[in-house]
Structure 1
């Protein structure tokens, strides 16, 4: 649009200048012709034409420009255009100058008409430029939105439209690059998920035998205790791998219903006392959220377990406005985790954890359409955002 307006403005300036130059030249020619006729008439008949006047070279009416009189007193003839009149003067004696003037009404009217036409042309050009720019922008953004849906559908593994309409232009190239990148990332994620499932299943059988063998160890002794703790840790890791593999393959739609978070946390504390929160803040009007009970339970279990295992006491759980917040008093989450999010089998910072607990919580949250965000505020903070239940409607 800016280029079109610039071109229109340049054209208007050029047209106005050309019109003025030609009009002034035409008026000057007419004024000189009338000056010649007036001079001849005055010299032979001592008579002045209607638009002619004899003035003194040093004393003349204020309406007559000084420049034309002064120039005529030293030259054969002179002209001067003041914007509304074309003046022509010729010295007829040492002290007198013959002056004629031609009104430039026709030129002024012609210029006004030109300005009006140029204004209309500019408005039309601007309107066309705006409409054209809008059409191009709409077409481009429509293609980009369609391309985004096309790439997103492919990234989710769904069926794509048969024809995206790629024409080999910049948009088509951008779509192709994004599609290749999303395909690579999707394949990498699937490979990682398959690896997780394979490792979990391959470790399951020898782990069962290892657990049975540990039961044969003596009850006393530091070595036996160390082996039992490490086997228990390995068992938790394998169980988490199996759970994560099942979660990745779970394509069923979540069954969302009102859930009493306080009652759910009480059940968790009764089943796993070691991860019970030291403080539970849940006002009556905020204790209900919309979620799938089983997935919400697994999320809270993993968040509490992570806070107890890698944070420091006290650990609190707060329910407010559809948000379930778990806080600990430890060092907080590593900066890389805050930036990139939880990553399975990827230990960060000083933690010796596998990252599977938070990865599981994030997977369950995404499957329910919820969000899980991590932060550091006097310790680690994990916030699960869910729709709240309006108790006033019950």
Structure 2
């Protein structure tokens, strides 16, 4: 596996919470604090150790000079000085044998000791021992102080950093929630960051994103409202002349031209009524008239009213609490769409609160399966305006019944409607 593949596999095994910005910021702050504390600790340790060891070496060399003067004068050696004393480090003895002077901290002594040695006559070594315990204790205490102070500094920095990052991430989460509400259709949702309301306050990047999102939502809402008003106004204005055309067409003499005129006028009236229904759905002003309905007889009535050859299969009947008129509209549009754009046989199946309508044609277009029906869009030379499924989806949303579009594995379009159904204690949503 390539290094990139290994990295992707490792990232795939990490918990989901590790992707959060707060977690990444905490790791970054911790690593930086640990690195900075380690660097400062090493610098302080090296500086103090050099100073402490230097002072001990200076004292040891001074005592070695005094001992050498006494030895040359034939006087008694001062305390701590001796010729070839036991415990003298071998390297220091070799240095003195070569005629040089040196110092070294004893490694095998019971207490920390600073040795100083120099040459004496006869190839012997004059050595001095200086107590180094105080200096060693000072360095150990300093190291402990560095560790504890670094830990406290890291902890304090993490707390302050977590507080600051959490404030930012909380605002980002709020902005993301508003964006999801807007994408779900709630165009009244706004972030309303107080920083965007007061131009005298400093504007950070989060406030800029929140302000841009609010502006986008307002613009989008204005455009959609304008389109809805335009659609409703056009549909209302068309009703009056279409009513006159319909009345005039009924007065025409029988014949093929008259049939064509009547057919086109009927199509225009249907399109106008569909546009009016869509405008009402877009305005979200629909009100439900709920009642308890057995689902299988309702589905059979819809098929009979459609006048199509549609097979009704009842696997398991259910009583649903719904708006009968809207449910009939949804199922009627699904059945009509299956016959208009698909191929037979068309089957309507009732399985408890789930109703499916399936044909055996070429299936739904890819865009419809991925994004849902879009008004005035069809593919493959199909006739229609794309309003039937749009109305079915809108009415299903009013009913609180999810409507899903898919293609069957062995071919054909498959629409699935899941309705709330009745239990003894009331309606529940079927899953």
TM over 0.5: yes
1:251 aligns with 2:285: yes
Structure 2: any 5+ residue segments left out of the alignment?
1-28
| Offset of residue 178 of structure 1 | 0.8
Partner of 2:127: 99
Partner of 1:11: 40
| TM-score normalised by structure 2 residue count | 0.75
2: distance between equivalents of 1:257 and 1:164? Answer: 46
Any conservation in 2 of the 1:279–1:314 contact (CA below 8 Å)? no
Partner of 1:112: 140
Q: Deviations over 1:205-224 (max 9, x none)?
A: 33333334444566665x66
| Offset of residue 145 of structure 1 | 4.8
Structure 2 residue aligned with 1:205, among 222, 236, 240?
240
Structure 1 residue aligned with 2:209, among 174, 179, 196?
174
2: distance between equivalents of 1:277 and 1:105? Answer: 101
Partner of 1:71: 95
| TM-score normalised by structure 1 residue count | 0.81
Cα 1:102/1:294, change in 2 over 3 Å: farther
| Offset of residue 356 of structure 1 | 1.2
Structure 1 residue aligned with 2:65, among 36, 43, 61?
36
Partner of 2:413: 380
| Offset of residue 365 of structure 1 | 3.1
Secondary structure in structure 2 of the residue aligned to 1:353 = coil
Structure 2 residue aligned with 1:164, among 194, 201, 226?
194
Structure 1: any 5+ residue segments left out of the alignment?
none
Secondary structure in structure 1 of the residue aligned to 2:121 = coil
Flag the structure with more relative contact order, 1 or 2, with Cα contacts below 8 A and sequence separation at least 6.
1
Q: Deviations over 1:105-152 (max 9, x none)?
A: 333333332333233223322322332233223322333455567776
| Offset of residue 160 of structure 1 | 7.1
Any conservation in 2 of the 1:314–1:329 contact (CA below 8 Å)? yes
Task: Provide the aligned C-alpha RMSD in A.
Answer: 3.5
Secondary structure in structure 2 of the residue aligned to 1:278 = strand
1:297 aligns with 2:297: no
* Mapping of residues 234-383 of structure 1, within 5 Å: 234-252=268-286, 254=288, 259-274=293-308, 277-284=310-317, 287-289=318-320, 291-319=322-350, 323-377=354-408, 378-383=411-416
Structure 2 residue aligned with 1:25, among 54, 59, 72?
54
Q: Deviations over 1:186-244 (max 9, x none)?
A: 122212212221232232233333334444566665x6655554444333222211211
- Equivalenced residues, count: 384
2: distance between equivalents of 1:321 and 1:172? Answer: 50
Cα 1:319/1:174, change in 2 over 3 Å: farther
Cα 1:136/1:17, change in 2 over 3 Å: same
Partner of 1:133: 161
Cα 1:211/1:8, change in 2 over 3 Å: same
Partner of 2:225: 190
| Offset of residue 173 of structure 1 | 0.6
Cα 1:145/1:289, change in 2 over 3 Å: farther
2: distance between equivalents of 1:216 and 1:117? Answer: 106
